[in-house]
Structure 1
Amino acid sequence: MDVFGQLYDIERDIKDKSSAERKEARQKRAKPIWENFGRWLEENAGLIKENSAIYKAFAYTMKRHKRLSVYMENEMLNIDNNPIESSIRPIALGRRNFLFSGSHNGAQRSAMLYSFMGTCKLHGINPMTWMEDVLKRINTHPSDKIHELLPPNWKKLQEETLEEKQENTILKTA
């Protein structure tokens, strides 16, 4: 497990670096650790009983060793998919609840709300603040610009609205 701790330490060190710096650090620091781990697996696999759980873990890791290092070659990839798993967790937990949505349309609406809430969280937006604001705006917002109310675009719209309010306040006081 120390190997994975070292790899995650490297990722923490380089998370705010440029793409080129991340790739270079992964090549120079992470790749040798991972290659040593692969050699260690191969050297020690023969010492373990083939029908044991630990041998199965060794075999599983050895079979996927090369594919698990792909993130070291592509600076745009993360070491894991934890952010994605965290974002879909509410959907997985709510899956059984969709059975009790009353109808297929009700289940679709529930799924849509889960998607909106997850997108808000992904963009650092408080879902309740977003929902409250969108419900206030939706009737008066131009229908050809409804996409502006989607969470990724809403944040920018909020900033523009705040700037307009500040400008109006300045004009009124002048």
Structure 2
Amino acid sequence: MAHARRYFIDALEDDRNRAEHALQQIQLLYEIEQHCTSQQFDYNTRKDYRLEKAVPVLSALGIWMTDQYAQVLPKSPIGQALAYSIKRWAKLSLYARTGNLLPDNNLIENSIRPIALGRKNHLFAGSHEAAKRSAMLYSLLGTCKMHRTNPTEWLADVLAIVAEYPVNKIKDLLPHNWKPTQN
């Protein structure tokens, strides 16, 4: 949803009325999410609230975009914003029928931003295999951050036990499943 929103922001100079309408509706969706977060809704309550509040907004906005697209030039900024969103609308709206998905992937994008910014510095990992290992480590440490797991404690514990750990239970050592061992 954040990318769709960005297209409408870019279209403000081209067609302020249409772009502002779309942005206002998207803002309503984010206000619904903010309410769910501030009320600390569990997944089921969040899903029910979204079905009641967000799905009607998404449905109306989807219909409005389709109607508006027929009235604009496809190559114009507003035409591109509408086309981008219409093409992806079913997927962009899917989150509202669940309690566990988010309307955008900003959390993930923010967590990998340091990696993207340092991409030039990582061009010389030594080998393709070294680059793959670095990427895995970044993913694991990013998962620690997302799940509020102390990466130093996690890594120290996992490295101490992984060699003797049963292979069929290795997923238990992933940051989101990990329980510290009692040594």
TM-score range (shorter-chain normalised) is: 0.5 to 0.7
The 3-state SS of whatever aligns with 1:48 is coil
Q: Alpha-carbon deviation of 1:84? A: 2.6
Report the Cα distance in structure 1 between the residues aligned to 2:122 and 2:60, rounded to whole angstroms: 47
Q: Alpha-carbon deviation of 1:118? A: 1.6
Give TM-score, length-normalised by structure 2: 0.65
Report the Cα distance in structure 1 between the residues aligned to 2:131 and 2:86, rounded to whole angstroms: 42
Q: How many residues are treated as equivalent by the alignment?
A: 155
Report the Cα distance in structure 2 between the residues aligned to 1:75 and 1:134, rounded to whole angstroms: 32
Correspondence 1:111 to 2:131 = no
Confirm or deny: 8 A CA contact 1:134 1:149 kept in the other structure.
no
Structure 1 partner of 2:45: 21
Gaps of 5+ in 1: 162-174
Confirm or deny: 8 A CA contact 2:74 2:83 kept in the other structure.
no
Report the Cα distance in structure 1 between the residues aligned to 2:146 and 2:164, rounded to whole angstroms: 25
Cα gap change, 1:144/1:153 in structure 2, threshold over 3 Å: closer, same or farther?
farther
Greater C-alpha Rg: 1
Q: In structure 2, which of residues 103, 111, 115 is the aligned counterpart of residue 79 of structure 1? A: 103
Structure 2 partner of 1:125: 149
Return the letter of the residue paired with 2:72. Answer: I
Report the Cα distance in structure 2 between the residues aligned to 1:144 and 1:152, rounded to whole angstroms: 20
Q: In structure 2, which of residues 33, 50, 57 is the aligned counterpart of residue 11 of structure 1? A: 33
Confirm or deny: 8 A CA contact 2:157 2:180 kept in the other structure.
no
Report the Cα distance in structure 2 between the residues aligned to 1:149 and 1:65, rounded to whole angstroms: 37
Cα gap change, 1:127/1:67 in structure 2, threshold over 3 Å: closer, same or farther?
closer
The 3-state SS of whatever aligns with 1:157 is coil
Report the Cα distance in structure 2 between the residues aligned to 1:64 and 1:153, rounded to whole angstroms: 32
Q: Alpha-carbon deviation of 1:30? A: 0.8
Correspondence 1:68 to 2:92 = yes
Percentage of identical aligned residues: 41
Report the Cα distance in structure 2 between the residues aligned to 1:51 and 1:94, rounded to whole angstroms: 34
Give TM-score, length-normalised by structure 1: 0.68
Report the Cα distance in structure 2 between the residues aligned to 1:142 and 1:23, rounded to whole angstroms: 38
Confirm or deny: 8 A CA contact 2:55 2:97 kept in the other structure.
no
Q: Alpha-carbon deviation of 1:130? A: 4.8
Q: Alpha-carbon deviation of 1:37? A: 1.6
Structure 1 partner of 2:9: none
Confirm or deny: 8 A CA contact 1:98 1:110 kept in the other structure.
no
Cα gap change, 1:111/1:66 in structure 2, threshold over 3 Å: closer, same or farther?
closer
Report the Cα distance in structure 1 between the residues aligned to 2:113 and 2:26, rounded to whole angstroms: 24
